[in-house]
Structure 1
Amino acid sequence: MNLIEYPDRDLMMMDLASVLAGELNSYLMRHDEASFAVPGGTTPGPVFDALCAANIDWGRVRIVPTDERWLPESAPRSNARLIRRHLLTEHAAAATLVPLYAEAEQPEDRLEELTEAVRPLLPLTVCLLGMGTDLHVASIFPGADRLAEAMADDAPPLMAMRAPGAPEPRVTLTMPVLRGALSTHILITGAEKRAALDRARDADPAEAPVAALLDEATVHWAE
């Protein structure tokens, strides 16, 4: 595991935004389009606030949430809502958001068409992830109803997931998609998540899904 420790959060957010911009720009110098998977939640907000002003040809970037609650973008808990508000502004407003929600009662009703929209983005150019204190990534939760399927090497790109403590059904990129990204970064803050990360180093991925990514990912941490 490549772990980078920062003296403070502000420096980490700015530095990580610069790294992500550099990786996207480098890829776009050699390819027509780049794909960028990003999490919801509040932690990456400052990264997005810095990244949206970066000098990138955003019109050639496709952005996809790493996971999504089965809620419309108008809902306060929608990851797409946060991504659009914090990342798809300024220069980055030219990027295209590939949503993981479509209007239906259950994700299974629209999962096939959502999957077909994601396939052209693979392998992901850059993947930014968060991590929960329960060691979940995206919506691959310990104890989720289809955890083993989502972790399997032959998992489809997208799966619907339900987990204890998650009020809504979720749609998530599966572990092969996350592991297959050309560049993967995990962003965490605080002592509690650092302690959780230390537990994950030797943990069974079935109990700590993030453990399946630690060989490939760069982890960025600040108190």
Structure 2
Amino acid sequence: MKIIEYPDTDIMMMDVANVLAEDLSEALHTKDRVTLAVPGGTTPGPVFDALSAVDLPWERVDVMLTDERWVPEDHERSNTALVKARLVTNRAVGARFFPFFAPAEKPEDVLADIEAALIGAMPVDIAVLGMGADMHTASLFPDSDGLEAALAADAPVLVPVRKAGLPDVRVTLSARVLDGAMRKHVLIKGDDKKEALVQARGLSPREAPIKAVLDGAQIHWSKG
């Protein structure tokens, strides 16, 4: 794990976009197709804006989320809508996007079909992650229903997760898939997140799920 500190968040976002562009370019020199997994939420939005303007052979790039809420794309809490609006656009409009939601009452009804569509995009080459103050990453939440399955060494690609207090069921890439990425970047800001990250290093992945993906990761941190 390597921590890179930035004087402010704007600089961090631009630098991360440049780093991701370099990672993609390098990977595309050695592979026919490259897979980029990214988080939802508004924090990485500026990274997506800058990255989507980079001149790359985006038609050879597969984009997927690290996790998604079980809501349709037109829902206000859909991560898919955000990624399509801010990353799979501009020069990156030719990238192939893989959704984690399909019309069904619960993920278990269609998860096998969603996973089958991802086979050609595995393994993930570059993963971008965030971290909450509770030390969760993607939708790997402490004390959640689904965490044990998502942390297992033989975990499937996708795992449904439920947790009291969350308004939606989540579908997340398992820790095995996220940790197996060739390049891993974790974006955090604020002293509380940095303190949580330091604390996570001394805990188990069940207590601090971010711990499951820290080996070899680059941590990008700004004070705020």
What's the TM-score, normalizing by structure 2? Answer: 0.97
Q: Deviations over 1:4-29 (max 9, x none)?
A: 01111111111110010111111111
Paired residue type of 2:37:
A
* Residue equivalent to 1:79: 79
The answer to whether residue 181 in structure 2 is matched with residue 181 in structure 1 is yes
- In structure 2, give the amino acid aligned to 1:163: K
> Which residue of the partner structure matches residue 15 of structure 1?
15
In the other structure, the counterpart of 1:49 is 49
> Does residue 34 in structure 1 map to residue 34 in structure 2?
yes
Alignment RMSD (CA, Å): 0.9
Aligned positions, number: 223
Counterpart Cα distance in 1 of 2:213 and 2:80: 24
Which residue is equivalent to 1:88? 88
Matching of residues 141-152 of structure 1 within 5 Å? 141-152=141-152
Match of 1:194 in 2: 194
What code does the residue aligned with 2:12 have? M
Asked whether the 8 Å contact 1:119–1:157 carries over to 2, the reply is no
Q: Distance in 1 between matches of 2:158 and 2:16?
A: 27
In 2, distance between residues paired with 1:117 and 1:7? 41
In the aligned structure 2, how far is the partner of 1:176 from the partner of 1:119? 15
Report SS of the residue matched to 2:77: coil
Q: Distance in 2 between matches of 1:92 and 1:79?
A: 17
Aligned positions of 1:87-166 closer than 5 A: 87-166=87-166
Deviation at 1:216? 2.2
Which secondary structure state, in structure 1, belongs to the residue aligned with residue 62 of structure 2? strand
- Residue segments in structure 1 that go unaligned for 5+ positions in a row: none
Report SS of the residue matched to 1:156.
coil
Q: Once superposed, which parts of structure 1, at least 4 consecutive aligned residues long, lie more than 2 Å away? A: none
* Aligned counterparts of 2:59 and 2:213: Cα–Cα separation in 1: 29
Shift of residue 55 of structure 1?
A: 1.2
Q: Distance in 1 between matches of 2:207 and 2:81?
A: 30
Q: Which residue is equivalent to 2:209?
A: 209
Identity of aligned residues (%): 49
Letter in structure 1 aligned against 2:192:
E
- Structure 2 unmatched runs, 5+: none
Question: In structure 2, what residue type is equivalent to 1:42?
Answer: T
Give the match for residue 169 of structure 1.
Answer: 169
